[in-house]
Structure 1
Amino acid sequence: MRAKHMTITLTSGHKTLVLGKGQPYRLRSVQGLEAAPITIASAANAGMNGATVTNARLEARSLVLGGTIAYLDELERLRERLARFLSPHEEGLCTIDYCGTKRQIGYRVEAFSIDEMANLWAPMDFSITLFCADPMLRSTDSYGRNIAEYLPQFALPFCCTAKKKCIMGYRKTSNTIVLKNDGDTAVGLKAVIAAVRGPVNDPVLKNQATGQQIGMKMTLAQGDTLTISTLPRQKQILLNGENAMMKMDRTSDLTFALTPGDNLLCYEAADGRSNMDVRLYYTPEYLGV
């Protein structure tokens, strides 16, 4: 039977600290990974029992890591390294590997303490508290897909004559694709639309599962790249790196997201659809691990 294991890796700038089995910093306990605090807002009902829920949201979470410095011959060096690594002035990324399941979350150091040392020759216990302003745990894999791709047909042995010619690749006739979000919540995405084979007029991206869409009232010249981000705190529309938010169609929805499960996405254009390359990038998010 496979034994349970957990390894936590803290990354800040170019520095890395690993806590887990077989490491100088052993991991004794972890709190806060299972769920973030929940706040439910409600309004009292007039003339009837109970209340009406008006909002529910996740609060920022704190992760409390209990550990031990087990290498007695390097105790002071490891203690100093730990203290210097845990700076509250730097943001970091916490990667959790729990029995093969990997998740990531951003953090700042909220507290760090070392237990009272009754015996100078005994292993040293410590506690680290990480403040995570965004409570969602993210997959360590970001998914990307070109939904307007050409499928390659080149193979060896290769034979081509001027009379018969040959097909080196073909474009998918369908302009739809199913993207699976295996996370616990809807997530925004980043779409990169490139006019690689000619001009494109008024490109549109639709999620047929939710009815949301993002459309642009503009013409992309050959070589232009349109970048659309619906990620929280990162919503933007850029044309060749310049702000193009004013070119957005009035029916567009910047809360455009992939819901948990299968999402049927399609792309359209008033003219030049076959000239488009459409690449989508997203990262599933989870409530806990």
Structure 2
Amino acid sequence: MRRLTYENSRGETIVFYLSPLVIESLTGIGEIDADLQSEKAPYQDGDTHIDALLQPRFIDLEGTITRREPEEIKSFRKQILRVCNPKLGLGKITLELDGDAKEIFGVLDGGPVFPERGRNVWQQFMITWKCPNPYWRETFTKSSQMSFVMGGFSFPLRLGTKFSQRSFRRIFLNNGDVETPVHIEFRGPAINPIIKNNTTGEFIQVNRTLSETDKLIIDTKFGQKSVEIEDAAGNRTDAFNWINPQSWFFQLQIGENQLEYNSNNDSTKTRVVISYRNMYVGV
């Protein structure tokens, strides 16, 4: 099965699958161009590889409107043009392929194209999306709560959890192809709360005191990094100025990541929720 659903920024959706909007060809869902970064020293044979930077992904869809009546063809053309409008900016592309589903965000690289029908009774069409972030991601968010428990004891290792008097550790598994950002919600009370990724040695610490009704919200996504404190009324305050200068907006590495929080407070009401999505280089 190969079904593609596009949802624009207005919440309008269109599905390309079987009749009446049949997918004839779909490219760009797996292959992706990369810009190889390297350096070369004098008299060096070849060069030294540094990194590979993925380019934006372009998804090309060719399809057919399997209707014969001119009015029906006209109606579906209007629907495609209305939903797939490049002026609406980024929209969400959801691809269901062989029992699996992934999503990515893309903008129309120009309007849909409808070739001249000629003697063809069916209308063909072509659509291209440009995806600035080339990674596919899971359609669901993985969330796990890290709860504070008094005392110093541990559960069997197979549970991947360990409790201590002032902190909590837990294993988070990134099954994707690349590192992935995290969304953190730290509910008070806490004094100078800190979240550590013990796998990489990186941490984020905010030098503020959280009350029982405060919530610290941290996002480590590239280009959307944020640190905010939300009060009981839902009002948010930018807390970027209060982060420890040595903090790093860490990502979950591929495989197991041991995260730990410290609230510097003995209250059992402290809660930390870590949310993330695995990301993939293709489907």
* TM bucket, shorter chain: 0.7 to 0.9
Corresponding position of 2:43 = 47
Corresponding position of 2:155 = none
Corresponding position of 2:257 = 263
Corresponding position of 2:29 = 33
State the 1:80 CA deviation.
2.1
Corresponding position of 1:17 = 14
Instruction: Give the aligned residue type for 2:28.
Output: G
Cα RMSD of the aligned pairs, angstroms, is 1.7
Corresponding position of 1:166 = none
| Counterparts of 1:14 and 1:271, CA distance in 2 | 44
8 Å contact kept, 1:144–1:279:
yes
Cα gap change, 1:114/1:207 in structure 2, threshold over 3 Å: closer, same or farther? Answer: same
| Counterparts of 2:83 and 2:271, CA distance in 1 | 43
| Counterparts of 1:146 and 1:202, CA distance in 2 | 20
Corresponding position of 2:200 = 210
Instruction: Give the aligned residue type for 1:20.
Output: Y
Corresponding position of 1:94 = 93
| Counterparts of 1:149 and 1:29, CA distance in 2 | 52
| Counterparts of 1:85 and 1:193, CA distance in 2 | 38
Q: Does 1:68 align with 2:61?
A: no
TM-score scaled to structure 1, two decimals?
A: 0.85
Please show how residues 215-226 of structure 1 align to structure 2 within 5 Å: 215-226=205-216
Secondary structure of residue in 2 paired with 1:84: helix
Corresponding position of 1:81 = 79
Moved over 6 A (4+): none
TM-score scaled to structure 2, two decimals?
A: 0.86
Cα gap change, 1:273/1:46 in structure 2, threshold over 3 Å: closer, same or farther? Answer: farther
State the 1:273 CA deviation.
5.8
Instruction: Give the aligned residue type for 1:222.
Output: E
Instruction: Give the aligned residue type for 1:206.
Output: K
State the 1:259 CA deviation.
0.9
Q: Which piece of structure 1 moves more, 86-95 or 265-274?
A: 265-274
8 Å contact kept, 1:200–1:275:
no
Match of 1:281 among 272, 275, 279: 275
| Counterparts of 1:217 and 1:209, CA distance in 2 | 23
Q: Does 1:243 align with 2:202?
A: no
| Counterparts of 1:183 and 1:215, CA distance in 2 | 27
CA distances 1:87-136 after superposition (whole Å, capped 9, x unpaired): 1111211100001111111111113211221126x111111011111111
| Counterparts of 1:38 and 1:20, CA distance in 2 | 30
| Counterparts of 1:71 and 1:263, CA distance in 2 | 52
Q: Which runs of 5+ in 2 are unaligned?
A: 150-161, 231-235
8 Å contact kept, 1:226–1:238:
yes
Corresponding position of 2:114 = 114
| Counterparts of 2:119 and 2:28, CA distance in 1 | 30
Please show how residues 157-236 of structure 1 align to structure 2 within 5 Å: 173=163, 175-195=168-188, 199-236=189-226
Instruction: Give the aligned residue type for 2:2.
Output: M
Cα gap change, 1:273/1:209 in structure 2, threshold over 3 Å: closer, same or farther? Answer: farther
State the 1:41 CA deviation.
1.9
Instruction: Give the aligned residue type for 2:203.
Output: Q
Q: Which piece of structure 1 moves more, 47-56 or 237-246?
A: 47-56
Aligned-residue sequence identity (percent) comes to: 25
Please show how residues 138-157 of structure 1 align to structure 2 within 5 Å: 138-148=137-147
Corresponding position of 1:162 = none
CA distances 1:191-214 after superposition (whole Å, capped 9, x unpaired): 11011xxx3212111111111111
Corresponding position of 1:154 = none
| Counterparts of 1:70 and 1:277, CA distance in 2 | 54
Instruction: Give the aligned residue type for 1:68.
Output: T
| Counterparts of 1:61 and 1:76, CA distance in 2 | 30
Secondary structure of residue in 2 paired with 1:63: strand
Which has the higher Rg, Structure 1 or Structure 2? Answer: 1
| Counterparts of 1:35 and 1:272, CA distance in 2 | 51
Instruction: Give the aligned residue type for 1:208.
Output: N
8 Å contact kept, 1:107–1:130:
yes
